[in-house]
Amino acid sequence: MAKTSRAAARRAANIRLIVQIFFFALIALIAVNHSLEEAGKAIPVLSSASLHAICPFGGVVSVYQFITTGTFVRKVHSASFILMWIVFALTVFLGPVFCGWVCPFGSIQEWFGKLGRKIFKKRFNRLIPYKVDRILRYLRYLVLGLIVYVTAATGTLMFANIDPYFALFNFWTSEVTIVSVIILIVVLLLSLVVERPFCKYACPYGAVLGVFNLFRVFKIRRNPSTCINCKACDRSCPMNVPVSTSGAVRNHQCISCLKCTSEQVCPVDKTVELTTIRLETSTAAPAEEATT
């Protein structure tokens, strides 16, 4: 039985890794193809659009201008609007799976974190004091507010000049600023100490999608009556969400990576699951929902 569980866990983890690699490679190819198009050598089967044109966050920052003038912020394409609504629809049902499964910048932070875990071992992702970490997690909402306000006021893509995600896939081009490259390097170095630091503390799109955790249809739920309180779910969570104290995870930092579930790390079958059904609760003391 144990061998079967471990095999299932590896299979689930491998599926997610394959999805992450696919989207990372796809975005990289599109970025390269954009450069090739400028040289007249584009690959016909690939989109030659700039990453700004196909980023769903571009739709978010263009909402105000689109409502008031019917146009998009410069560098943003209608495809960004379409992708924005697709991601929103997916997030309503499954939570921020875009963050945990699709976003290439989140993936590369996670891969750097694997190296950091080997270097720092148990100290990895535990070096920042909880009280400090808890405050820092709300910085991304300040970043979101600033970007939306400045973009709406100026009609320009304010985030473009400091975007480490864009720098990652365009560092060889003249479109990338020195500031964004420096931020990219800092984020990757921090990823050796803190898992997904940009996702936790600065990502404006993660801030938007995190709100959906409050009302998503499929939630990560814990069954208190079968939970053995081993804390394996807490240790496996890249975003340090306290799953072991949850009835249903509503934490704004959850990225729906499913690492905490019984299919991957929880040793008790059907104790931590992605489901719409409230799992059996203990008659003695029902678990509280994790929202902090």
Measured CA distances, 181 to 168, 188, 200, 207, 239 (Å): 8, 11, 19, 22, 24
Confidence of residue 46 (pLDDT cuts 50, 70, 90): low
Q: For the chain, where are the E strands, in sequence order?
A: 219-222, 246-249, 272-275, 288-290
| 53 residue type, one letter | A
Tokens representing residue 53 in the block: 């044109």
Query: How much is the average pLDDT of 162-168?
Result: 93
Number of H helices and E strands in the chain, helices first, is 13, 4
**Is the confidence at residue 289, as pLDDT, over 60?**
no
Percent of the chain with pLDDT over 70: 89
**Tens-place pLDDT, residues 129-142:** 888 998 999 999 99
Query: How much is the average pLDDT of 146-171?
Result: 89
Question: In terms of DSSP H, where are the helices of 95-240?
Answer: 97, 104-120, 130-136, 139-154, 164-170, 178-190, 197-201, 204-210, 232-236
CA–CA separation, 173 vs 157, rounded Å? 18
**Is the confidence at residue 285, as pLDDT, over 60?**
no
Beta-strand relationship, 272-275 and 219-222: antiparallel
**Tens-place pLDDT, residues 48-105:** 667 877 888 888 888 888 888 888 887 777 888 889 999 999 999 999 999 999 999 9
Look up residue 221 and give its DSSP letter: E
CA–CA separation, 154 vs 171, rounded Å? 25
Give this prediction's pTM. Answer: 0.87
Give pLDDT, residue 94.
Answer: 95
Question: Over the chain, what is the mean pLDDT?
Answer: 87
- Number of Cβ within a 10 Å radius of residue 39: 7
